Each structure stands twice: as structure tokens, then as C-alpha cells.
Homo-oligomer: A and B are copies of this chain.
Amino acid sequence: MKTYTLDEVQDKIIGKKGTPNRDKFEYELQMDLIGKAIKESRQERKLTQEQLGELVGVQKAQISRLESNASNVTIDTLMKVFTALKAKVKLQVELPNAKFNVAR
């Protein structure tokens, strides 16, 4: 099976690190994943959009929109959905250490 480094794939497809396009893509990628995460979680729970909507307290249309990243969701909305799915959600923030830049 052919394999790629993460950087190889990303560089080739979307440009080198630090370039505007790359930053934007990674940023959008995060956003895209939100809807994907909701959809996959819902399917894992074997629920229809309508059923999830009932649990959350919204119409199925709204679930559809959330899954398709139709808008820029708030944390509140995100939590309502994942709570309904009985999912544990964590935000992991990693600050790559800048020490080595200084060490030169």
C-alpha cells in the first residue's frame, strides 16, 4: 500500500505551510469537521436526523444544516447536539513550544 507523510499530502494538495492558502485550508478543515463529526456521531448512534432533532429540540432541517456546515456554529449549539448524543467533547489546544527557534 502506498503511503504518504502528512506533510507530503498536505503540501501537494494545498500548498506549503505558512502560505495563506494552507492556513486557510487548515482553518476551514476544522470547520468542515464539525458537521462531519455531528453526522458521524449521529450515525454511530443509529439515529435519523429527525430523531436527533427530537433529542436536541429542533427540526430535522436544522440538524441537516448543522451537518452540512451551513453556518458557523457556536459552542452552545455544538454542546447541545453532542450532549444529546451523549458524547464527551474535549477541546485540545496545543501550543508548539517556541524554545527551539530561539536556540537557533
A94 touches B88 (CB 8 A): yes
* Closest Cβ neighbor of A29 among chain B residues: B89
Nearest CB on B from A67, distance (A): 13
Copies assembled: 2
B6 touches A12 (CB 8 A): yes
> Among residues 53 to 72 in chain A, which have CB atoms less than 8 Å away from a CB atom of chain B?
72
Q: CA A28 – CA B3 in complex, angstroms?
A: 24
Nearest CB on B from A34, distance (A): 6
Query: Can you sample 16 A-B contacts with CB below 8 Å?
Result: A13-B33, A14-B37, A22-B94, A24-B93, A24-B94, A25-B92, A26-B90, A26-B91, A27-B83, A31-B76, A33-B91, A41-B95, A44-B95, A72-B75, A75-B78, A86-B95
A97 touches B23 (CB 8 A): yes
* Closest Cβ neighbor of A34 among chain B residues: B75
Q: CA A91 – CA B3 in complex, angstroms?
A: 25
Given contacts A31-B79, A74-B74, whether A93 and B37 have CB atoms under 8 Å apart is: yes
* Closest Cβ neighbor of A71 among chain B residues: B74
